[in-house]
A and B are shown apart, each in its own frame.
Chain A
Amino acid sequence: MKAVPAACRLRIRPEECVACAACPSVCHTLALRMDALELVLDEDLCDNCSVCVRVCPVGALYIERSNEGSG
């Protein structure tokens, strides 16, 4: 039986992100990229490794805590 990859829990705070391109540089799956003006996240490629969260100079990225079991 094939394992289902965990859903991406990376989130961007759009009001904080300044599209500086630090995070695509460290993303090992190419899930993060810059288009002309803003940061774009491909959730299918993200594996929640959270290196980008450490590297972001302004704290615009975070991993959402899962709330399984809560109402």
Chain B
Amino acid sequence: MRSTSNEKADAVVVGGGIAGSLLAGLLARDGFRVVVLEKRPVIGVPVRCGEAAGSKEEISKFIPVDEEFVAVELNGARGFAPDMTFFEKRMPGFGVVLERDKFDQALAAQAVRRGAEIRTYHEVVALEKAGSRVTGVKVKDHTNGASYTIASPVTIGADGIESFVGRWAGLTRHLRPKEIHSGAEYLLEGNGFPTDTIEIYVGTAIAPGGYVWVFPKGHRVANVGIGVHPTMATDGTARDYLDRFIDERYPGAARLRFIAGGVSGSRPLDTMVGDGVLLAGEAARHNNPFSGGGIMNSLEGAEEAHKVVTKALSRGDTSAEALKEYDAAWHNRNGRSIRKFALLRELFFKLNDDDLNGLVSVLDKVVRATDGRIADYADLFRTAARTTPGVLWKAKRMLW
């Protein structure tokens, strides 16, 4: 039982999720004293995620792949139009579906092996400041109700979409309704799920301003979830839309688990750093605003943050000035493409069912014509636009 009320660390990481654990471990490995504060009693629990991520090879750059946290290896994707026609692209090994709780725990264990200290059920309740500089955190230990502080040259906010570190530091503001998707997901058991392919369904009645996803998790089991635009969804809650979809498409399925959440559709922040403070992961709006995917981006963002923080700590300068190269580094790595995806998201809101049916039909032709020889889905859309001038014209009209 901790009796000291004021502690010191080289870095405090608020949040023991993907970005928090990876960043903490990398800093600890460099020899810094790092404390991770996770407000929940157990790392990674409950899971609040669709759980689809990049390939095993991409993941192995951050942590050795353990089959324990891989539910399914993915070999393709199908996109369904409102009229239920679809296009399909085979992409062997392009991604995996994770067991997020086990994955988060594996990242946390790696961080601890590298020398970080992780405290679960410890909640950061305020930032300590000297003027505008963040000097540490105030913590509530939920195991015994005690409060204490940790002073630190740098406080890292890796506390997710609702990031209070970001808001208290004045780096993030609240998300507007058009910048967030309301999300809901069931783990379903039953017939008719794909085994190694992800499925995406779009349609203004199915998922207004968003999509339904079906991510296989194993034999007869899949994550079936939805994201909807909060003000475009006028026919009930996200869960209502999802229930209707499931009752129609998988009528016999058993609902084993339910989760809900918000998915940020925000463009990147103007800056992710302040004096003595830096954001990482969803707290820094690293996730893809179009697909909602955040796992790979959070890992990459944490990696970029590590480079900057370790240098700043070594030089004894954790001012915003010293940390600012993180903004440029992120912009170069992913920020530029995130801006494009935010634009694509705006465009997507304007598509009606006829547009969506047409788009899927074009994508189908393109995939067949090129025999799948397309690098990624950005390339797919470019090829579709070249192949069918009508798509380009529609995009142009919509942007006006």
Contacts and interface: CB of A to CB of B under 8 A. Distances in A.
Interface of A: 18, 20-28, 30, 33-37, 51, 54-59
Place the interface of chain B in its size category. 20 to 34
A33 B164 contact: yes
A33 B126 CA distance: 12
Per CB-CB distance, the 7 closest pairs between chain A and chain B, nearest first, are A22-B262, A57-B238, A57-B260, A20-B260, A24-B162, A57-B182, A20-B261
B40 A37 contact: yes
Contact of A55 (B40, B167, B180, B184): B180
A5 to B, nearest CB: 19
Contacts of A36: 39-41, 121, 123, 142
Interface of B: 39-41, 48, 121, 123, 142, 160-162, 164, 167, 173-177, 180, 182-184, 230-231, 236-240, 258-262, 264
Nearest to B122: A36
B258 A55 contact: no
Contacts of A30: 164, 167
- A22, A34, A35, A56: which has the most chain B beta carbons within 10 Å? A22
22 contacts: A18-B258, A18-B259, A20-B183, A20-B262, A21-B162, A22-B161, A22-B183, A22-B260, A22-B261, A24-B164, A25-B161, A25-B162, A25-B175, A25-B180, A26-B180, A36-B39, A36-B142, A57-B183, A57-B238, A58-B238, A59-B236, A59-B240
B175 A21 contact: no
A26 B184 contact: no
A34 B299 CA distance: 24
Residue from B48, B123, B237, B260 with most neighbouring chain A CB atoms (10 Å): B260
A36 B164 CA distance: 13
